Chains A and B, each alone.
Chain A
Amino acid sequence: MSITVYVPRDASALSLGADAVAKAIQAEASSRHLDVNIVRNGSRGLYWLEPLVEVETPAGRMAYGPVQPTDVLGLFDADFLHGGDDVLKLGPTEEIAWLKSQQRLTFARMGLVDPRSLDDYLAHDGYRGLTAALEMEPAAIVQAVIDSGLRGRGGAAFPTGIKWKTCLDAAAERKYIVCNADEGDSGTFSDRMIMEGDPFVLIEGMTIAGLAVGATHGYIYLRIEYPHAQRALEAAIEAAKARGYLGDDICGSGKVFHLEVRMAAGAYICGEETSLLESLEGKRGQVRFKPPLPAIQGLFGKPTVINNVISLATVPIILDRGAAFYRDFGLGKSRGTLPLQLAGNVKRPGLVERAFGLTLRELIEEYGGGTASGRPVRAVQVGGPLGAYIPASKLDTPVDYEAFAAIGGMLGHGGVVVFDDTVDMAAQARFAMEFCAIESCGKCTPCRIGSTRGVEVIDRIVAGDRAEKARNEVLLRDLCRTMVDGSLCALGGMAPFPVLSALDHFHEDFEGARQRTAP
């Protein structure tokens, strides 16, 4: 009988040699005349253990990792195909504490299924949300999403259901669903994991959104830096079409929904929703004035729901299990779970989906295991390049939209980047301004000019004498206020956050007084 072995096809796992491992296992199995069926699954998100190989045994899936091609011979000798012991053996995957303690709702199937197999998706509760939605009135679907408390996971945290209701109430002969898959924030990769590891859940979520607001066409605007996700999505869309889950008659209901992937072209600003719509229309990705809201006048001037990948991929479980099931996770106004992405200088990086309320310290110390370098944590940037740098003294802040706002930070898309004590925070502040200058769309002056002036002023602070430093710090703070108050969108409006947080919490780095410790 054939033995099933799982080797991830996730891009990060591939970047660590997963393809070579899969080949080595296939070759060794052939030479030993063993019947092995290799399934290329998504990643479980335990990235320090990738490539993580799993074997299907009567006692469940057994994990081995990190596996290199040179380890494969030893694994066969240890009879890993029957769960044999080896130094790389991690035990049953589901029992790994790092994974077991998580609350995976959006990521429920991550790493379990073959992302190219619609049958596998169906066997793991796939398309149950759509089945439920097909029995409901559009307004009831929208109400379920409102009741779930789901807020936009792309960063702005706007209630998803309210957006949908606005679009549902807008009368038009044509409406659109747009998925923002331009995951540009550094430290984030949850969208990529979903698209590569469980693409059908995104397709299902978008189809439900289409039913809810009366849209018949959807676009996934995908960043060009994600070629693996493109292939996974295109294969999944073809499979869904072939089986009637997309097209002119969804599951025999007579409802219409078409979906296509559109590739971005490397502009960070196109993650901003109105820039993204401009880009989809074939124009320069310049920010639009709001109002009108995209839900009323969006893509090609038509009412458009534009949501992040994670928001849309969370909709199926809400429709399947009910709004109350999802809402019961979390605290305060932050309901449900957040897939946190633990990255940077950390020993055990990866995907941690937990209900809101976990503290940063629990995340970084218990899941992350501290820094990879073994040095103390000095700063943590949460929410991408526009997120504040949080000092080690504030690590007890719970993961909650309001709690982060209270300390001048933002959760954003849930990316957490850890820095050790060798980091130069003046350089990080400078980078924030430099990044804003490179990526500014150029439409508004505070962002276009302010970011360049910001780089110059920080250079003068770092290089100047004491009087020069003091004068320029006043100027920098003033410039930051102008950018925050006067920019058209979050790029210019939030790029000052990392700068100001560096000034406030790590002032010594701008004084030139801090003794540099060599890494």
Chain B
Amino acid sequence: MKPAKSVAPLPPIDDKIRCAVLDVTGRLKDQPGALLPVLHGVQAALGYVPEEAIALIAREMNLSRADVHGVVTFYHYFRMQPAGKRTIYLCRAESCQSMGAAKLEQHIKQRLGVDFHQTSADGRWTLEPVYCLGNCACSPAMLVDDELKGRVTPEGFDAWLLSEIP
């Protein structure tokens, strides 16, 4: 016999978020150690893991809200706020440092008018730091969504940014 599910009422939740969460948990929650795959699924569907989704994920997976909150906040990749249209992951690690990543970082922050973990005013770009993209032979590197770029210079960045603006 299945254990009885918690019947405590859930806090109000947006319909779109509820459907997305239930779709993901329905598909993934029964595999062993399912929480990371579920969170990846939710973030892939919604772009982030909304605060209001946590109670529902917890209930569906028979975990406490604290468990889910703890996992979401532990991992750098999971975000609880929506990102911009595209996310730039800029490498800050040593190999890129040796090829001028600090200068590039300053340039990009200034160009987009953001600091790390922020989204540009027009909502197009979110800038996140990352520690190694495995492109160390072509430093400095950045990943735009899932598109990797190598040997990025401030001038190269500007030229690329211009080509991205329709």
Proximity bits, A306-335, B CB within 8 Å = 1, else 0: 000000000000000000000000000000
Query: How far is A285 from B74 in the complex, measured between Cα atoms in Å?
Result: 8
Q: Known: A47-B138, A227-B146, A372-B99. Contact between A428 and B40, CB under 8 A?
A: no
Within 8 Å of chain B (Cβ to Cβ): is A472?
A: no
Closest to B40 in A: A263
Q: Does A130 contact B (CB under 8 A)?
A: no
A439: chain B residues at CB < 8 Å are: 131
Whether A281 and B76, one on each chain, are in contact in the complex, defined by CB atoms closer than 8 angstroms, is no
User: Given A225-B133, A267-B74, A344-B136, is A12 in contact with B148 using a C-beta cutoff of 8 Å?
Assistant: yes
Using known A-B contacts A12-B138, A342-B137, determine if residue A280 contacts B33 with beta carbons closer than 8 Å: yes
Q: Is A224 close to B, CB under 8 A?
A: yes
CA distance A264 to B100 in the complex (A): 28
Other than A12-B135, A12-B148, A431-B97, give 7 A-B pairs with Cβ distance below 8 A.
A12-B134, A16-B138, A186-B132, A228-B146, A264-B75, A349-B136, A439-B131
B98 near A418 (CB under 8 angstroms)? yes
User: Distance (Å) between the CB of B149 and the closest chain A CB?
Assistant: 5
Does the CB pair A225–B89 fall under 8 Å?
yes
Docked Cα-Cα span, A221 to B110, in Å, equals 36
B-binding segment of A94-102, A118-126, A187-195, A401-409? A187-195
A284 touches B71 (CB 8 A): yes
Contact assessment for B138 and A50 in the assembled complex, using a CB-CB cutoff below 8 Å: yes
Select from chain B the residue with minimum beta-carbon distance to A45: B137
Contacts of A441 in B (CB 8 A): 74
**Which chain A residues lie closer than 8 Å to B148 at the CB level?**
11-12, 14-15, 228
Q: Identify the closest chain B residue to A371 (Cβ).
A: B98
**Chain B residues within an 8 Å CB radius of A47:** 137-138
Contacts of A279 in B (CB 8 A): 36
With an 8 Å Cβ cutoff, the count of chain A residues facing the other chain is: 62
Assuming A16-B150, A265-B77, is B98 touching A188 (CB within 8 A)? Answer: no
CB atoms of B70 and A284 under 8 A apart: yes
Q: Residue-by-residue, is B94-118 near A (CB-CB < 8 Å gives 1, otherwise 0)?
A: 1111111000000000000000000
Interface presence of B139 (CB below 8 A): yes
Q: Which of A29-43 contact B (CB under 8 A)?
A: none
Best-buried of B67, B70, B100, B132 by chain A (most CB within 10 Å): B132
B35 within 8 A of A: yes
- Please list the 7 inter-chain residue pairs (A to B) with the smallest Cβ-Cβ separation, ordered nearest first: A282-B35, A186-B93, A343-B136, A266-B77, A265-B75, A15-B150, A47-B137
A344 contact from B32, B37, B39, B94, Cβ within 8 A: B94
With A265-B78, A284-B74 as given contacts, are A341 and B36 in contact (CB-CB < 8 Å)? no
Q: List 29 A-B contacts (CB under 8 A).
A: A12-B135, A15-B151, A184-B131, A185-B132, A186-B95, A187-B93, A189-B135, A225-B143, A226-B134, A227-B146, A262-B33, A263-B40, A265-B36, A267-B74, A267-B76, A281-B33, A282-B34, A282-B35, A283-B67, A349-B136, A349-B137, A351-B137, A385-B131, A417-B94, A423-B98, A428-B94, A435-B93, A438-B131, A439-B131
Q: How far is the CA of A493 from the CA of B32 in the complex (A)?
A: 32
Q: Compute how far the CA of A189 lies from the CA of B138 in the bound complex, rounded to whole angstroms.
A: 11
A12 CA to B151 CA, complexed, in Å = 10
**B20 interface hit (Cβ, 8 Å):** no
Q: Which interface class (under 10, 10 to 19, 20 to 34, 35 or more) fits B?
A: 35 or more
Q: Is A381 an interface residue (CB 8 A)?
A: yes
Hey, which chain A residues are within 8 Å of B139, CB to CB?
343-344
Is A183 in the interface zone, CB < 8 Å from B?
yes
Q: How far is the CA of A312 from the CA of B97 in the complex (A)?
A: 31
- Pair B98/A15 contact, Cβ less than 8 Å: no
- Whether A265 lies near B99 (C-beta < 8 A) is no
Min CB distance A223 to B, Å, is 8
Decide yes or no whether B58 CB sits under 8 A from chain A. no
Query: Closest approach, in angstroms, between the C-beta of B19 and any C-beta of chain A?
Result: 23
B69, chain A: closest CB distance, angstroms: 10
A490 to chain B, nearest CB (A): 16
> Are B94's CB and A265's CB within 8 A?
no
* Chain B residues positioned under 8 Å from A263 (CB to CB): 36-37, 40
Within 8 Å of chain A (Cβ to Cβ): is B141? yes
Query: A15 vs B156: C-alpha distance in the bound complex, in angstroms?
Result: 13
Question: CA of A286 to CA of B137 in the docked complex: distance in angstroms?
Answer: 31
Interface residues of A in 372-428 (CB under 8 A from B): 372, 381, 385, 415, 417-420, 423, 428
B24 on the A face (CB < 8 A): no
**Chain B residues near A188 (CB, 8 Å)?**
132, 134, 136
B80: Cβ under 8 A from any A Cβ: no
Smallest CB-CB separation from B78: which chain A residue? A265
- A192 to B89 CA separation, bound complex (whole angstroms): 18
Nearest Cβ on chain B to A499's Cβ, whole angstroms:
13
A284 and B93 CA atoms in complex are apart in Å by 23
User: What does the 1/0 interface line of A432-463 toward B look like (CB < 8 Å)?
Assistant: 00010011010000000000000000000000
